[in-house]
Amino acid sequence: MESKLLVKDKQIVIPGEDLAVGYDFLPGRGTFRTGESIRSKVLGQVRLKEKLVNVISLSGVYIPKPGDGVIGVVDDVQTTFWVININSPYKGILLLSEAVKEFVEVSKTDIARYFDIGELIYTKVINVTKSKIVTLSMMDPRAKKLRGGRIVTIIPSRVPRLIGKKGSMIEMIKEKTGCQIVVGQNGVVWLKGEREDLATKAILEVEKESYTSGLTERIARLLEEG
């Protein structure tokens, strides 16, 4: 059978819908192969990358993967590690050795002095086991404690659209609102600055309309109108 693509880039598809036939195309994220056909696993938007067919879910929870930068809240402090809520069905574990560079004598130190319950951090996922034990690290140049500001939570699959090509969307929001903004791959967004309400409004509009055309222009108008 001749290989054929049955959908267009950015097309909305439903679970089980045929996306391509033939072995010239490869199933990617959110898809599966059955015989010669590639079908969608989820309700989502098609993203084509050469011969790789992906479907980005329009809903769902955050499933951690190594390399993700995430924003989390300290849920618990133990003797040698912290338990972090990362907006996922799975908790993150931040080991002392991945949190601070200095030697810490744990028998004499309450490690809550570094990160305490309720504090917010931007951290990196470094490992996810088969049983979904998620290990985090602060040993990344961007990792830090986030103080003040506010949190906005969006559907994790909308994060790439919020960031935009080469960071274009989020940089525009930062520039027009005077806000510092940190975006976690887990759908948690931290912002702090002059016009937090406007930044929040823009972020939520991107989440709501992420799969529609002309979004950049609409967000630009929203930011100009204030």
Q: How far apart, in whole angstroms, are the C-alpha atoms of residue 221 and residue 170?
A: 15
Q: What is residue 110's DSSP assignment? A: -
> Do the domains 69-146 and 4-57 match in fold?
yes
Determine the CATH number of domain 4-57: 2.40.50.100
Question: What percentage of the chain's residues is helix, strand, coil (to nearest 5)?
Answer: 25, 35, 40
C-beta of residue 75 within 8 angstroms of C-beta of residue 88 = no
Nearest Cα to Cα of residue 202 among 225, 222, 187: 222
| 119 CB-side CA count, 13 A | 17
CATH superfamily name and code, 69-146: Nucleic acid-binding proteins (2.40.50.140)
- What predicted TM-score, i.e. pTM, was given to this entire model? 0.76
CATH fold for the domain made of 150-225: Ribosomal Protein S8; Chain: A, domain 1 (3.30.1370)
Residue pLDDT tens, the chain, 226 long = 689 999 999 898 999 999 999 999 999 999 999 999 999 998 888 999 999 999 988 777 898 999 999 999 999 999 999 999 999 989 999 999 999 999 999 999 999 999 999 999 999 999 999 888 999 999 999 999 999 999 999 999 899 999 999 999 999 999 999 999 999 999 999 999 999 999 999 999 999 998 788 999 999 999 998 7
